[in-house]
Amino acid sequence: ETGVTQSPTHLIKTRGQQVTLRCSSQSGHNTVSWYQQALGQGPQFIFQYYREEENGRGNFPPRFSGLQFPNYSSELNVNALELDDSALYLCASSLANRGSTDTQYFGPGTRLTVL
């Protein structure tokens, strides 16, 4: 059984650019959640995908978007990057049905730096 993997590990972009981050969920998991963790802070929920549909969203603007694929892997896309988008982006997977609170397992994250 493989854990949650994310790519790339590190990324440097300039303001205004677009970025795509990728996540492979743990084997058997059908739900992927994305979090943004600023330096020295707790992770903040961005959104969750369940069976390829967005299943809840935090207080993030529409330029943060995502996808989930039939194999339950996921992408996080951020358009028009701003300096404040610099953070560690975490993906977490779980095996869940609607309304459940199954354990989320986190990947190692992608460190995004916006210059």
Partner 1 sequence: QQQVKQSPQSLIVQKGGISIINCAYENTAFDYFPWYQQFPGKGPALLIAIRPDVSEKKEGRFTISFNKSAKQFSLHIMDSQPGDSATYFCAATAGTSYGKLTFGQGTILTVHP
Among 11, 45, 65, 75, binds partner 1 (CB under 8 A): 45
Q: Is 56 in the site for partner 1 (CB under 8 A)?
A: yes
Query: Do residues 91 and 20 lie in contact, with contact meaning Cβ atoms separated by under 8 Å?
Result: no
When the beta carbons of 81 and 90 are compared against partner 1, the nearer one is 90
The distance from CA 112 to its chain's CA centroid, rounded to whole angstroms, is: 12
Alpha-carbon span 66 to 63, nearest angstrom: 10
Residues numbered 96-115 forming contacts with partner 1, rule: CB under 8 A: 96, 98-109
Q: Is 26 in the site for partner 1 (CB under 8 A)?
A: no
When the beta carbons of 16 and 61 are compared against partner 1, the nearer one is 61
Q: Closest Cα to residue 56, out of 101, 112, 86?
A: 101
Q: How far is the CB of 42 from partner 1 (least distance, A)?
A: 3
